[in-house]
Chain A
Amino acid sequence: MNIRLKVWRQENSEAKGYFEDHKLKDLSKDMSFLEMMDVLNEQILQEGGIPVEFDSDCREGICGQCGAMINGRANGHHEETTTCQMHMRHFRDGETVTVEPFRAKGFPVLKDLKIDRSGFDRIIQAGGYISTHAGAAPDANAILIGKDQVESAFDSAACIGCGTCVATCKNSSAALFTSAKISHMVKLPQGKFEARERVVAMVNQMDAEGFGSCTNTEACEAECPQGVSVFNIARMNFEYNKALLLKN
């Protein structure tokens, strides 16, 4: 198959960006989207240009390092998928495909499609952990957790930290990311002791990073590669209000 690409180029976070046009021929429909980008970069190299910078690592949908807006949608139009798991069979022969970085105030562009998501790290640093240390743990079966409860905690813990939720949200809110970690921990008995301090610190950090507010459009859940539910956001709000109420 052949496609026409409009790819975002931007030298660094301060520079002005622009779209660059490329034509790619004889692609296989079994290629992944990022393998198509590899072909593009090989072509650019042969033409004496500078390849397009983009992040990717595991290329099996679990590390969360890749991510781009494809035709205006985070990771493209396929359901519950990361950019690396998007395949060319989902595009039409001859189609024009637009590729841009995730755009959000909290995610400055580093170069081309590469962005800085270190704000997520700082949200976790604010309280996204259970304070324990190696050597202190009781026997694993001393903490009983019901099957449904642990599966529900897993659903929240499944977040891969890719930033699709932020990129999709019209407010660039990081509520889904933040609430997933808060919910993961508060759903488990081990995580309850620090629940109040955690939710307040993480929400405050999320705001300090410049991520927007959640207005319940639920677009984040629709695009999340892991299908993380917006119920996590409801839980975060509940936990946050509870923490403030109980503080007084």
Chain B
Amino acid sequence: MLDSKIPEGPLAEKWSNYKAKTKIVNPANKKKLDVIVVGAGLAGGSAAATMAELGYNVKVFYFQDTARRSHSVAAQGGINAAKNYQNDSDNVYRHFVDTLKGGDFRSREANTYRLAEISSQVIDQAVAMGVPFAREYGGVLTNRSFGGVQVKRTFYARGQTGQQLLLGVYSALMRQVSVGSVKSYARHEMLDLVMVDGKARGIISRNLVTGEIERHGAHAVVIASGGYGKIYYLSTLAIGSNASAQWKVHKKGAYMASPSWVQFHPTSLPQAGDHQSKLTLMSEALRNDGRIWVPKKAGDDRPANDIPEDERDYYLERKYPSFGNLAPRDISSRSAKEQIDSGHGVGPNKNAVNLDFRDAIEKLGKDVIAERYGNLFRMYEKITGLNPYNEPMRISPSAHFTMGGLWVDYELQTNIPGLFAGGEANFSDHGANRLGANSLLQACVDGYFILPVTIGNYLSGEIHSGKVDTNNPAFEKAEAEVKARIEKLLSIKGNTSAEHFHKRLGKLMWDNVGLERSQETLEKAIRELKLLRADFWNNINVPGTDKGINSELEKAERVADYIELASVMTYDALKRNESCGAHFRSEYQTEDGEAMRNDEEYQYVSVWEFEGVGIEPKLHKEKLEFEVLKPTIRSYK
């Protein structure tokens, strides 16, 4: 039933084989084909612009006020590519190995290889568009290291790499808007998928300014709406980041793959109080020069600078000498949690660890550190009022990236014909843990180089379909359902805000389906989610009307979807009786507290089919085969 459609041939030739044999659409026919893209971040924006360059008619939908705001913009550290510009023995194979191993052997080999294979092209493309990556005095590009890797393959534009890449995508998209190939729908939210005869045929959207419910038909729909880490309420994500597009298509039959695999970023700012609306990320790049430590003595209240060297525990350097402070994110986050839970946490709430630049400043000088991280240091000071040149930063793990997402095959097509998913919204490349700087890469690879090719293979069968008729009863029905739900949300007139429900959901998920889970906490979460859902639909307070701007209505829509998605995440975590990557089940760990994988029973991706809200979804298994690199126990020691 699940066909991952991996092309034949040796790993290194699969993508070439695919491209050689895939069906394509001639330029005259492309003009007859409409494609809808949901999301205008790196993946959605680049897919939309590139498909328009090829000649398709593209409509792109996003909730922000312009296509330059999506949360790709906030990625700081960089983007990986196996260019080997540093002559440090990097190559496609090594990038593939790092990614597959970093993901704890829970990703699809062929997809992961393709990610590394196309990486070089992304850098070429970005430079051609004017992305100002960092360079050497001689004019060539420079690189830095990132977690889980022993070569320098990360390209960067100060601490604003995501912003600069996104501005490249945005300019390409605006160029296509100017020539009329892309219609851009800012401040629009997709509220349902429309299917006709089992195929994706369009969407229902809400104009967030006028409140109007609109029908849009197309021959294919691409979901590139990002990740759902904000389900934990406190996360590094943007306020508007949401799971709604993914969740709507899941309810229409698209499968979700390993949704409980969520990355907790080790270097975010700790929570300061209950008022907090988000946790700001400090780039992982800081771990190139910063040293992470906690006081050896639990509960040590002295200011960091008063604690002598021999009373500090540089626990990452101690536990993982070969990677040290650059251990992968899952391991670094869990180690931090271990220290905090055992009373070694620092700061007023004892919920952080130190990231110290004292030694680096001594060795390299303040100017070099300022050049490398100046903007991050300023941002830290703005938020906390503390100066990281004089005292260590305080950092803490925070919900960040979702490796799980919509199940897609090698063509990035979901199990619904004509429905594709790219970027963070799909699963596929990162397994159970994503390596730093592979996220910007995946979004660009999917959008610029994979989707525009694979969508042609599907659309070649649609050239005789004619315009999609939005008067079709399927559109009517979907629109009526969307309107009914809005009406229901507005009619409850309870006493509790969407924000409040989201906070409760976040705490529930953080406590029970967070960095560490167990059968006990997961079963508890399933019970509590049922109560929370019932409470939401009895007591939600959405003021105002469906006409015009109504942010509370938008929030309520998103939180309602989050609550439903949470239960699939919980079942996913509960049914996987092993630890792998970011999925850490406390029952399954080695004596020294490392994740204990169970390849015999769980070397598969859990693929979930919707069976009804709150009901245990139906499990399908995509068995993972490793032909080239046999799974080993991950060691960063």
Interface residues of A (CB under 8 A from B): 11-12, 27-28, 30-32, 34-35, 38-39, 41-42, 45-46, 48-51, 53, 55-65, 78, 80-81, 85, 87, 89, 110-111, 114, 116-118, 120-121, 124-126, 128-141, 143-147, 150-151, 153-154, 157-158, 160-161, 184-185, 188, 190-191
Q: How far is B378's CA from A8's CA once the two chains are assembled, in angstroms?
A: 31
Q: How far is B124's CA from A140's CA once the two chains are assembled, in angstroms?
A: 4
With both beta carbons as reference points, the residue of chain B lying nearest to A123 in the complex is identified as: B174
Which residue, A39, A117, A147, has most C-beta atoms of chain B within 10 A? A147
- Residue contact B238 to A161, C-beta cutoff 8 Å: no
Given A48-B543, A190-B129; 18 other pairs, CB 8 A cutoff: A57-B69, A57-B240, A58-B69, A58-B71, A58-B238, A63-B64, A81-B382, A87-B385, A89-B385, A121-B174, A121-B184, A134-B448, A137-B124, A145-B132, A145-B139, A153-B132, A154-B132, A161-B68
- Residue contact B65 to A117, C-beta cutoff 8 Å: yes
Cβ contacts under 8 Å, B170 to chain A:
124
- Residue contact B139 to A57, C-beta cutoff 8 Å: no
- Residue contact B74 to A60, C-beta cutoff 8 Å: yes
- Residue contact B172 to A59, C-beta cutoff 8 Å: no
Cβ of B209 < 8 Å from any Cβ of A?
yes
Q: How far is B552's CA from A48's CA once the two chains are assembled, in angstroms?
A: 13
- Residue contact B178 to A126, C-beta cutoff 8 Å: yes
Write the nearest CB–CB distance from A111 to chain B, whole angstroms. 4
- Residue contact A51 to B69, C-beta cutoff 8 Å: no
User: Contacts A50-B543, A140-B123: A131 and B175 contacting too (C-beta < 8 A)?
Assistant: yes
With both beta carbons as reference points, the residue of chain A lying nearest to B139 in the complex is identified as: A144
Cβ contacts under 8 Å, A154 to chain B:
132, 157-158, 164
Write the nearest CB–CB distance from B396 to chain A, whole angstroms. 15
Q: How far is B170's CA from A160's CA once the two chains are assembled, in angstroms?
A: 12
Cβ contacts under 8 Å, B497 to chain A:
42, 45
Q: How far is B71's CA from A128's CA once the two chains are assembled, in angstroms?
A: 21
User: Contacts A114-B549, A117-B66: A137 and B385 contacting too (C-beta < 8 A)?
Assistant: no
With both beta carbons as reference points, the residue of chain B lying nearest to A156 in the complex is identified as: B132
Partner of B130, one of A45, A134, A141, A185: A185
Cβ contacts under 8 Å, B128 to chain A:
130, 132, 136-138, 143, 190
Which residue, B127, B184, B240, B548, has most C-beta atoms of chain A within 10 A? B127
With both beta carbons as reference points, the residue of chain A lying nearest to B552 in the complex is identified as: A51
Partner of B132, one of A120, A130, A157: A157
With both beta carbons as reference points, the residue of chain B lying nearest to A138 in the complex is identified as: B124
- Residue contact B238 to A110, C-beta cutoff 8 Å: no
Q: Which of B272-280, B333-341, B356-364, B600-608 contacts A (4 or more CB under 8 A)?
A: B272-280
With both beta carbons as reference points, the residue of chain B lying nearest to A133 in the complex is identified as: B53
Give 12 A-B contacts (CB < 8 Å), ordered by A residue: A45-B497, A45-B541, A51-B552, A57-B71, A78-B382, A85-B383, A116-B65, A124-B174, A128-B171, A130-B129, A130-B130, A140-B123
Partner of B452, one of A12, A132, A134: A134
Partner of A110, one of B64, B137, B499, B549: B549
User: Contacts A57-B240, A129-B171: A118 and B186 contacting too (C-beta < 8 A)?
Assistant: yes
- Residue contact A188 to B124, C-beta cutoff 8 Å: no
User: Contacts A32-B277, A49-B543, A136-B128: A65 and B69 contacting too (C-beta < 8 A)?
Assistant: yes
Q: How far is B276's CA from A161's CA once the two chains are assembled, in angstroms?
A: 25
Cβ of B510 < 8 Å from any Cβ of A?
no
Partner of B121, one of A124, A137, A188: A137
- Residue contact B280 to A60, C-beta cutoff 8 Å: yes
Cβ contacts under 8 Å, B138 to chain A:
144
Cβ of B627 < 8 Å from any Cβ of A?
no
Write the nearest CB–CB distance from B222 to chain A, whole angstroms. 15
- Residue contact A125 to B549, C-beta cutoff 8 Å: no
Write the nearest CB–CB distance from A159 to chain B, whole angstroms. 9
Within 8 A of A (CB), among B146-179: 157-158, 160, 163-164, 167, 170-172, 174-175, 177-178
Cβ contacts under 8 Å, B378 to chain A:
80
- Residue contact B382 to A87, C-beta cutoff 8 Å: yes
With both beta carbons as reference points, the residue of chain B lying nearest to A38 in the complex is identified as: B277
With both beta carbons as reference points, the residue of chain B lying nearest to A81 in the complex is identified as: B382
Q: How far is B160's CA from A147's CA once the two chains are assembled, in angstroms?
A: 17
Within 8 A of A (CB), among B272-304: 272-273, 275-278, 280-281
- Residue contact B277 to A34, C-beta cutoff 8 Å: yes
User: Contacts A89-B385, A141-B141: A150 and B133 contacting too (C-beta < 8 A)?
Assistant: yes
Cβ of B531 < 8 Å from any Cβ of A?
no
Write the nearest CB–CB distance from B275 to chain A, whole angstroms. 5
Cβ contacts under 8 Å, A58 to chain B:
69, 71, 73-74, 238-239
Cβ of B449 < 8 Å from any Cβ of A?
yes
With both beta carbons as reference points, the residue of chain A lying nearest to B76 in the complex is identified as: A62
Which residue, B70, B125, B140, B171, has most C-beta atoms of chain A within 10 A? B171
Cβ contacts under 8 Å, B273 to chain A:
28, 30-31
Q: How far is B395's CA from A240's CA once the two chains are assembled, in angstroms?
A: 48
Cβ of B379 < 8 Å from any Cβ of A?
yes
Cβ contacts under 8 Å, B278 to chain A:
59-60
Cβ of B50 < 8 Å from any Cβ of A?
yes
Cβ contacts under 8 Å, A56 to chain B:
239
Cβ contacts under 8 Å, A151 to chain B:
132
- Residue contact B543 to A45, C-beta cutoff 8 Å: yes
Cβ of B524 < 8 Å from any Cβ of A?
no
Interface string of B31-66 (1 = CB under 8 A from A): 000000000000000100110010000000000111
With both beta carbons as reference points, the residue of chain B lying nearest to A126 in the complex is identified as: B178
Cβ of B544 < 8 Å from any Cβ of A?
yes
With both beta carbons as reference points, the residue of chain A lying nearest to B72 in the complex is identified as: A63
- Residue contact A140 to B83, C-beta cutoff 8 Å: yes
Partner of B160, one of A31, A32, A42, A158: A158
Cβ of B636 < 8 Å from any Cβ of A?
no
Write the nearest CB–CB distance from A248 to chain B, whole angstroms. 26
Q: How far is B375's CA from A160's CA once the two chains are assembled, in angstroms?
A: 14
Cβ of B134 < 8 Å from any Cβ of A?
yes
Cβ of B85 < 8 Å from any Cβ of A?
yes
Cβ contacts under 8 Å, B592 to chain A:
none
With both beta carbons as reference points, the residue of chain B lying nearest to A11 in the complex is identified as: B548
With both beta carbons as reference points, the residue of chain A lying nearest to B448 in the complex is identified as: A134
Q: How far is B132's CA from A138's CA once the two chains are assembled, in angstroms?
A: 16
Write the nearest CB–CB distance from A9 to chain B, whole angstroms. 12
- Residue contact B171 to A130, C-beta cutoff 8 Å: yes
Write the nearest CB–CB distance from B306 to chain A, whole angstroms. 23
Write the nearest CB–CB distance from A78 to chain B, whole angstroms. 8
Top-4 shortest CB links A-B: A144-B139, A129-B171, A137-B128, A137-B124
Cβ contacts under 8 Å, A11 to chain B:
548
- Residue contact A50 to B130, C-beta cutoff 8 Å: no
Cβ of B305 < 8 Å from any Cβ of A?
no
- Residue contact A125 to B175, C-beta cutoff 8 Å: yes
Q: How far is B115's CA from A22's CA once the two chains are assembled, in angstroms?
A: 53
Write the nearest CB–CB distance from B474 to chain A, whole angstroms. 32
Q: How far is B126's CA from A134's CA once the two chains are assembled, in angstroms?
A: 9
Cβ of B310 < 8 Å from any Cβ of A?
no
Cβ contacts under 8 Å, A28 to chain B:
272-273, 275
Write the nearest CB–CB distance from B73 to chain A, whole angstroms. 5
- Residue contact A161 to B66, C-beta cutoff 8 Å: yes
Q: How far is B550's CA from A192's CA once the two chains are assembled, in angstroms?
A: 44
Which residue, A131, A133, A157, has most C-beta atoms of chain B within 10 A? A133
Write the nearest CB–CB distance from B166 to chain A, whole angstroms. 9
Cβ contacts under 8 Å, B551 to chain A:
51, 53
With both beta carbons as reference points, the residue of chain A lying nearest to B382 in the complex is identified as: A85
User: Contacts A58-B71, A59-B277, A147-B136: A53 and B549 contacting too (C-beta < 8 A)?
Assistant: yes
With both beta carbons as reference points, the residue of chain A lying nearest to B385 in the complex is identified as: A89
With both beta carbons as reference points, the residue of chain A lying nearest to B278 in the complex is identified as: A59
Partner of A62, one of B67, B126, B163, B543: B163
With both beta carbons as reference points, the residue of chain A lying nearest to B140 in the complex is identified as: A141
Q: How far is B448's CA from A161's CA once the two chains are assembled, in angstroms?
A: 24
Cβ contacts under 8 Å, A114 to chain B:
549
Q: How far is B388's CA from A229's CA once the two chains are assembled, in angstroms?
A: 26
- Residue contact B127 to A140, C-beta cutoff 8 Å: yes
Interface string of B448-492 (1 = CB under 8 A from A): 110010000000000000000000000000000000000000000
